[in-house]
């Protein structure tokens, strides 16, 4: 078994170089295909990764065919085959029985025909077993779908992607989070093709994708969470929960959770309004059950509508119902079970908070920092990292909230929200590195400049979910008293000896 070969610099350098040639390779393949033969309308992409399974998807032109994925340890040695019989142009193949933390090369096609892959460009790496303290890299983009409606949007989306790839170098992300509004303006099937699948073929064939629903997915494209239908649901395969992939099964693709290494990820549907956002509703109750069951050290929660923003949307505007409801209803819940980082889009800017807890009101109610756990910038080169006195998901110890909604455009009007220490009206994306008890995040703009960097450190004992915060604070106080007493005792002993 290879040990995360993406981290092996020499080998990956050649892979990354070849990644950039991928589109050309696919286009060439299409160009030389005989007349009437199928070609790829959507190049291969990877979803629902688990230590022992993955979903490979692609779309072809007619006529419909069966679906065949071949995979193995090296190009030219794809010894395993999964065939889904029948005829279709929308292909979705579940592969199971995989080895955790292992690189596989693959191809997609039909019958004996290979449409893409069996080369150095097409590979995936399965996640490590849940709970493993393995370095994990996450790429986050929000409101990225502008390429569907403007050439400038394409230019900006590609620049954001290219600068992420340049920053990552040989260490490309293990997984990829979409924060919604992935296909402007209405999330139609065609807009998904031109605004998403045509933009990221060189990322999505290697990095496993995890989306969340934005309001533009609910446009005339017709995605519908209750019916689990429309372009968003037809295009994506979300983790079902349970098994080696972790998470409590939600019974819907609208919201879901999964584990990756020592991180618990949760996607929430903030776009479907009304009863969906009710306290005590199915999503709320599932979320609490899932948080209670979590045993991972880190919790990252993402949805589309930001609880705190002063960008192209304003979380103080009562007309922004979803922003209020997410802040008043869901923020207290995720904080009480120890969320560390919460990610959203919707405002077309980048905004990033200090370490906060318990802020459910208007921005003015935190104007003097009443909700601050640490009001510094969290930058190791600035005020220093944020420190949380737990290795596990300790409740109400503070979280960072970030809006990453400028991955294909920026929109004016941005001012500083009271909880934000970084607010930038410029296109970019967020790269997150989790390594053991530290989390680093970098906002990389479309010019390749890192405009923001923060770190969260966890120290102390593993505090399981559900332990009341007063009890936690009492334990921390007791520890500090014992440490202080020890220092004093040593000091007295030293002075008299």
Q: Which phi-psi region, left, alpha or beta, contains residue 187 (left: φ > 0; alpha: ψ -120 to 50)?
A: left
Q: How far is the CB of 181 from Fe ion (least distance, A)?
A: 4
Query: 214 vs 428, which CB is nearer to Fe ion?
Result: 214
Q: How far is the CB of 418 from Fe ion (least distance, A)?
A: 22
Query: 393 vs 405, which CB is nearer to Fe ion?
Result: 405
Binding residue for Fe ion, selected from 53, 134, 212, 215, defined by CB under 5 A: 215
Going by the DSSP 8-state scheme, the letter that residue 73 receives in this structure is: S
**Token pair listed for 21:** 């040639």
| Closest of 414, 442, 389 to residue 313, by C-alpha | 414
Q: How far is the CB of 159 from Fe ion (least distance, A)?
A: 21
Instruction: Give the C-alpha separation, 229 to 226, whole Å.
Output: 8
Q: How far is the CB of 152 from Fe ion (least distance, A)?
A: 19
Instruction: Give the C-alpha separation, 274 to 39, whole Å.
Output: 42
Query: 346 vs 388, which CB is nearer to Fe ion?
Result: 346
Query: 14 vs 220, which CB is nearer to Fe ion?
Result: 220
Binding residue for Fe ion, selected from 22, 214, 219, 221, defined by CB under 5 A: 214
Q: In what order do the strands lie in the sheet with 400-404?
A: 256-260, 263-267, 298-302, 341-344, 400-404, 350-353, 420-424
3-state SS assignment for residue 139:
strand
Instruction: Give the C-alpha separation, 208 to 66, whole Å.
Output: 23
Question: Which residues 343-372 are close enough to bind Fe ion by CB under 5 A?
Answer: 346
Q: How far is the CB of 176 from Fe ion (least distance, A)?
A: 19
Query: 67 vs 191, which CB is nearer to Fe ion?
Result: 191
Query: x/- binding map, residues 329-348, to Fe ion, per CB under 5 A?
Result: -----------------x--
Residue 181 lies near Fe ion (rule: CB under 5 A): yes
Following CA atoms 386, 387, 388, 390 in sequence, which dihedral angle do they give, to the nearest 10 degrees? Answer: 150
Please identify, among the stretches 191-199, 211-219, 273-281, 384-392, the one whose residues bind Fe ion according to the rule CB under 5 A.
211-219
Please identify, among the stretches 10-18, 174-182, 191-199, 376-384, the one whose residues bind Fe ion according to the rule CB under 5 A.
174-182
Size of the site for Fe ion (CB under 5 A): 4
Instruction: Give the C-alpha separation, 105 to 152, whole Å.
Output: 35
3-state SS assignment for residue 118:
coil
Query: 144 vs 206, which CB is nearer to Fe ion?
Result: 144
Report the half-sphere exposure of 321 (CA within 13 A, side-chain side): 9
Q: How far is the CB of 215 from Fe ion (least distance, A)?
A: 4
Binding site for Fe ion (CB under 5 A): 181, 214-215, 346
């Amino acid at each position: 078994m290879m040990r995360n070969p993406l981290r092996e610099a020499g080998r990956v350098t050649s892979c990354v170089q070849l990644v950039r040639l991928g589109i050309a390779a696919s286009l060439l393949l299409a160009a030389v295909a005989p007349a009437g033969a199928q070609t790829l309308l959507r190049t291969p992409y990877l979803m629902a990764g688990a230590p022992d399974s993955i979903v490979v998807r692609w779309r072809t032109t007619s006529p419909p065919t069966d679906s065949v994925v071949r995979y193995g340890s090296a190009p030219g040695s794809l010894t395993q085959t999964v065939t889904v019989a029948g005829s279709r142009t929308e292909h979705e193949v579940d592969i199971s029985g995989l080895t955790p933390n292992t690189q596989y090369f693959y191809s997609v096609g039909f019958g004996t025909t290979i449409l893409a892959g069996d080369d150095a460009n097409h590979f995936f790496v399965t996640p490590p077993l849940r709970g493993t303290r393995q370095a994990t890299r996450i790429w986050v983009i929000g409101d990225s779908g502008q390429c569907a409606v403007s050439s400038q949007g394409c230019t900006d989306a590609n620049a954001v992607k290219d600068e992420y790839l340049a920053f990552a170098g040989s260490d490309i992300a293990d997984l990829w989070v979409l924060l919604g509004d992935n296909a402007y303006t209405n999330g139609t099937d065609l807009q998904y093709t031109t605004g998403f699948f045509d933009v990221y073929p060189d990322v999505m064939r290697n990095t496993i994708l995890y989306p969340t629903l934005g309001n533009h997915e609910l446009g005339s494209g017709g995605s519908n969470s209750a019916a689990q239908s429309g372009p968003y649901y037809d295009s994506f395969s979300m983790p079902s929960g349970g098994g080696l992939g972790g998470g409590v099964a939600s019974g819907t693709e609208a919201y879901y959770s999964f584990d990756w290494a020592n991180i618990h990820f949760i996607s929430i549907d903030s776009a479907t309004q009304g009863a969906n956002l009710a306290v005590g509703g199915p999503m709320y109750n599932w979320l609490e059950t899932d948080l209670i069951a979590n045993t991972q050290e880190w919790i990252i929660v993402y949805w589309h509508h930001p609880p705190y923003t002063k960008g192209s949307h304003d979380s103080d505007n009562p007309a922004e119902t979803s922003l209020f409801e997410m802040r008043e209803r869901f923020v207290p819940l995720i904080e009480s079970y120890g969320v560390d980082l919460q990610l959203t889009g919707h405002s077309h800017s980048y905004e990033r908070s200090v370490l906060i807890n318990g802020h459910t009101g208007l921005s003015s109610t935190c104007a003097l920092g009443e909700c601050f756990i640490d009001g510094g910038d969290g930058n190791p080169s600035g005020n220093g990292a944020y420190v949380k006195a737990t290795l596990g998901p300790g409740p109400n110890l503070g979280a960072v909230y970030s809006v990453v909604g400028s991955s294909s455009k920026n929109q004016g009007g941005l001012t500083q929200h009271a909880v934000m220490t970084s607010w930038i009206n410029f296109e970019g994306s967020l790269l997150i590195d989790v390594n053991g008890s530290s989390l680093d995040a970098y906002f990389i703009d479309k010019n390749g400049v890192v405009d923001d960097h923060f770190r969260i450190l966890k120290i102390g004992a593993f505090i399981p979910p559900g332990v009341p915060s007063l009890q936690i604070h009492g334990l921390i106080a007791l520890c500090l008293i014992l440490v202080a007493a020890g220092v004093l005792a040593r000091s007295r002993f030293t002075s008299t000896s």
